[in-house]
Amino acid sequence: MSHVNMTWLDLFRHGSRSRNSRLRLSTEREKKAMEAGNGCRPNITDDRWSLRGTTALVTGGSKGIGRAIVEELARFGAAIHTCCRSEQELNKCLQRWEAMNFTVTGSVCDVSSPVERENLMDKARSIFDGKLNILINNAAIGYINPAIKVTLEEYKHVMSTNLDSAFHLSQLAHPLLKASARGSIVFISSVAGFLGINTASVYGATKGAMNQLTRSLACEWAKDNIRTNCVAPGVIRTPLVRPLLDNKEFVAKETRRVPLRRFGEPKEVAAVVAFLCLPASCYVNGQVICIDGGKTINGNL
């Protein structure tokens, strides 16, 4: 065997001995962890998969996807402030979260109002001592109307609630997110921002604009250690779509377009949102992630 071949063989043997040594050490650590009662999960650095010590503001957190996001972030250890328009709904949720030992506060806010948005951010600033790690722009409304029948009042209401509020709250939150030195914004968009949907023209326009806002802020605010991402759910089983679930024709038509052949659950959206807020996703920036069971990529229709 040549000298060169012998050299590579020696290196291979040395590498194998080194890998075997590391493997033995790893196995011994896992064995000790098992004996200590630490379970059998992989040895993942806790800080990468925890939100302990972080603060979050979630709009529209009393029901549906918003409530699921509040609860998912709380399970990871975040302290959260949320809002909704109904004081009765909010109080009911706060009682639920207190029983679950979650650190959640709340206030009544109509995010379509610039003044109420400013008041909301003032409360978050006061509660969290001027620092905010996470902003979830979730609150949204929609009118089911043909485009020619949409009134100017409806148009303005959808725009101010869905798009204006998301942009304005991001502006207001910027100094708080920057002060935290590890900020994350997540917009809750929709597949309606990618697909043309009859009777949802204005709603879809707000979501399409939100997708682009995600990319723009991701570039502009990265220097301030603020990441910006977005999720775009498909049909999710929320109170908003619950009346449609009794319509067999609607269910059959919609699920036929989804490769997974079912609708999504709020907790499935919340899980992706939580990941985008975790340190483990620290290199994910400017992305719009569809959570739709494959609907938007399905060409087999």
Residues 216-268: tens digit of each pLDDT? 999 999 999 999 999 999 999 998 888 888 899 999 999 999 999 999 999 99
End-to-end CA distance of the chain: 61
Ordered structural domains, the chain, with CATH: 48-236+266-294 (3.40.50.720)
- What's the pLDDT at 222? 98
pLDDT at 43 over 50: no
Rounded-to-integer distance, Cα 75 and Cα 50, Å: 9
Catalytic residue among 143, 155, 203, 283: 203
Q: At a CB cut-off of 8 Å and minimum separation 6, what does 96 contact?
A: none
At residue 83, the 3 state secondary structure works out as strand
| Least confident residue range of 32-46, 111-125, 138-152 | 32-46
Q: Show Cβ contacts of residue 249 under 8 Å, excluding neighbours closer than 6 positions.
A: none
Q: How far apart are CA 166 and CA 164, in angstroms?
A: 6
Give per-residue pLDDT as tens, 98-119: 999 999 999 999 999 999 999 9
Share of the chain above pLDDT 70, in %: 85
Burial of 268 (0-12, 13-18, 19+ CB in 10 A): middle
pLDDT at 169 over 60: yes
155 is catalytic: no
